[in-house]
Chains A and B, each alone.
Chain A
Amino acid sequence: MRKRALRLTLGAVAGLGAIALFPTIANAQEPDPVTVLGQQVNLLWVVIGAVLVIFMQAGFALVETGFCRAKHAAHVVSTNFAIFGLGFIGFFFIGFPLAFGGFSTSLIGLDSPVGEPLLGSGNWVFLFQGGWALSTGTITPALLGLFLYMVAFMDTVATIPTGSMAERWKWGSFVIWGLFCGALYYPLFAAWTWGGGWLAKTWDTMNLGAGYTDFAGSGVVHAVGGAAALAGALVLGARIGKFDADGTPKAIPGHHIPMALLGTFILLFGWFGFNAASTFAATDVQFATVATNTAIAGAFGAIIAMLWITHRTGKPDPGMMANGMLAGLVAITAPCAFVAPWAAAVIGCIAGVLVIESVFFVERKLKVDDPVGAISVHGVCGSFGVLAVGIFSNGSYGAAWNGSTSEGVEGIIKGDWGQLGAQALGLAVIWTVIFGLAFGFFKLQDKISKSMGKGGIRSSEEDEIAGLDIPEMGVAAYPEFVSR
């Protein structure tokens, strides 16, 4: 008993002594150990988020392959497979510096950026530099963690057009898209927003709310990807047999509905890394709000879509239910940290209807063939998500966002219209400049290919009819079955 009491007393004295010593340890030269531990935990959180988002590549692969025909399955799944590495390589060498060369966040211990502005300065930066091939400048674990997380977001953009352009896109042309997306296409808008460029600074230059605000990328990722999806589908043209002579759309059913819906669940799973880890801090418990808002929007999106498609066509089309869940998830991606749970539900409901009506509009009115609904899920619902920040944000989070004097991001439900202005400007830029860049890329690529006698970026008619698997990949997804 006395020995134990002695040990306890010694332990207490040692403990008190250690705490007493902290002030002398935590002087101006030494960082506070609690802060350092927080940064370490936060870096772990970001890396976990990166891994979850990278796993979403599997989700995309399954969704797209399931919604396409069996004779193209090896091709479609291969585009979704290869896009990871292609975008990655472009981003590794060129894209990451252009977008994030000027980015820093003490949350993960990235106290200084790896580089600086390349084009522009102050509030008007258009491109950054630094960290080329992750080899120039100060390369720290925190920087590498940031890279891993950001490369996952870039690859999400890169894979979106593979859905709208499926079943008639030449493999070689697709490869060049992957490299282009990682090196230039994605980084441009990312530099202007998340990287700290001019759109993030419109709170200062144009007095617009907290500047363009996009927590995890309804705009930076999904609308940008959707714009490329539309551009590519326009340049390629519709699949053979998609539209009647009089323009009536004909159904081309996917070959594996269970695969597509499984892929949707995998996307849902990964989305928790996409949105919740965008706090960049496990020490910022808003990640729990973000995760829950994400789930709410996905759930409501799926069910409202189920009800809406039943109302419109008589049956609960599984593909539309899946698109509905994804629409809700895409739409909540920008506002997830800034809105109340009731607003997340409303956003999910609106997205669930919007995606279905958009699919009808794109197909019946625009006469654009989008085999998986990528334009509607990502382009349209992503755009809605961007605007939703300016509508539903309740001021409870986001103080000093983008370095602004904002005390919390606020939308028109709090009487502030400035944020909506910042969001609308960002959207206008996406659908003019960024869409124009994608359209220009595909059009130019098509022209060059034709002038070289290679026939353009669209596969030949015979290949498309036979199925791209054998002519393009040399391998059939289902060699033992006869496919149409």
Chain B
Amino acid sequence: MKLITAIVKPFKLDDVKDALKAVGVAGVTVTEVRGFGRQGGHTETYRGAEYKIDFVPKVELTVVVDDGTVDAVVEAIAGSASTGKIGDGKIWVTSVDRLVRIRTGEEGADAL
């Protein structure tokens, strides 16, 4: 089993959700985050005083999937979240050691 984590632009969340459903992903967890990458921040003025906006609002998604579906899911996220403009985000894949469904106690692939 693998954990797929993606940072995407907030307004792309609905598109990504639809794409995940289309490849058969049953559940996803979403967090509101802030961050920056190589794009850097920019400067604004408030009442005449300058301030730097380094962190940009983003959305972080995590899904746990079967090893076999990792590639399809990564492609689905990348395709639906892309705008071609700076700040599109990143996706990374890590291993999951153990998975449990809380309601039933099922484990492993049965818990996906």
B29 at the interface (CB under 8 A from A): no
B45 near A356: Cβ-Cβ < 8 Å: no
Assembled-state Cα–Cα distance A360/B46 (Å):
11
B49 near A317: Cβ-Cβ < 8 Å: no
Please pick, from A251, A309, A315, A356, the residue contacting B49 in the complex, using a CB distance under 8 A: A251
Q: Mark each residue of chain A from 312 to 337: 1 if its CB lies under 8 Å from any CB of chain B, else 0.
A: 11110101100000000000000000
A317 near B45: Cβ-Cβ < 8 Å: yes
Closest chain A residue to B50 by CB distance? A251
A250 partner residues in chain B, CB cutoff 8 A: 49-51
B98 at the interface (CB under 8 A from A): no
B46 near A363: Cβ-Cβ < 8 Å: no
Q: Mark each residue of chain A from 368 to 390: 1 if its CB lies under 8 Å from any CB of chain B, else 0.
A: 00000100000000000000000
B45 near A359: Cβ-Cβ < 8 Å: no
Residues of A363-419 contacting chain B, CB below 8 A: 363-364, 373
Assembled-state Cα–Cα distance A363/B48 (Å):
9
Q: How far is the CB of A273 from chain B (nearest CB, A)?
A: 29
A253 partner residues in chain B, CB cutoff 8 A: 46, 51
Residues of A218-265 contacting chain B, CB below 8 A: 249-253
B103 partner residues in chain A, CB cutoff 8 A: none
Closest chain A residue to B47 by CB distance? A319
Assembled-state Cα–Cα distance A249/B50 (Å):
8
Q: How many residues of A contact B (CB 8 A)?
A: 19
Q: How far is the CB of A384 from chain B (nearest CB, A)?
A: 20
B49 partner residues in chain A, CB cutoff 8 A: 249-251, 363
A359 near B48: Cβ-Cβ < 8 Å: yes
A364 partner residues in chain B, CB cutoff 8 A: 48
Q: Mark each residue of chain B from 37 to 57: 1 if its CB lies under 8 Å from any CB of chain A, else 0.
A: 000000011111111000000
Assembled-state Cα–Cα distance A118/B62 (Å):
76
Closest chain A residue to B51 by CB distance? A251
Closest chain B residue to A323 by CB distance? B47
A317 partner residues in chain B, CB cutoff 8 A: 45-48
Assembled-state Cα–Cα distance A253/B52 (Å):
12
Residues of B57-71 contacting chain A, CB below 8 A: none
Q: Mark each residue of chain A from 287 to 316: 1 if its CB lies under 8 Å from any CB of chain B, else 0.
A: 000000000000000000000010011110
A360 near B51: Cβ-Cβ < 8 Å: no
A320 near B51: Cβ-Cβ < 8 Å: no
B51 partner residues in chain A, CB cutoff 8 A: 250-251, 253
A314 near B48: Cβ-Cβ < 8 Å: no
Closest chain B residue to A249 by CB distance? B49
Residues of A168-203 contacting chain B, CB below 8 A: none
Q: How far is the CB of A82 from chain B (nearest CB, A)?
A: 27
Closest chain A residue to B46 by CB distance? A251
A249 partner residues in chain B, CB cutoff 8 A: 48-49
Assembled-state Cα–Cα distance A312/B48 (Å):
8
A356 near B46: Cβ-Cβ < 8 Å: no
Assembled-state Cα–Cα distance A71/B45 (Å):
22
B48 near A315: Cβ-Cβ < 8 Å: no
Lowest 7 CB-CB distances: which A-B pairs, in order? Answer: A251-B51, A251-B46, A251-B49, A313-B45, A249-B49, A253-B46, A360-B48
Interface residues of A (CB under 8 A from B): 249-253, 309, 312-315, 317, 319-320, 356, 359-360, 363-364, 373
The 19 sampled A-B contact pairs (Cβ below 8 Å) are A251-B44, A251-B45, A251-B47, A251-B50, A252-B46, A253-B46, A312-B48, A313-B45, A314-B45, A315-B44, A315-B45, A317-B46, A317-B47, A356-B48, A359-B48, A360-B48, A363-B49, A364-B48, A373-B47
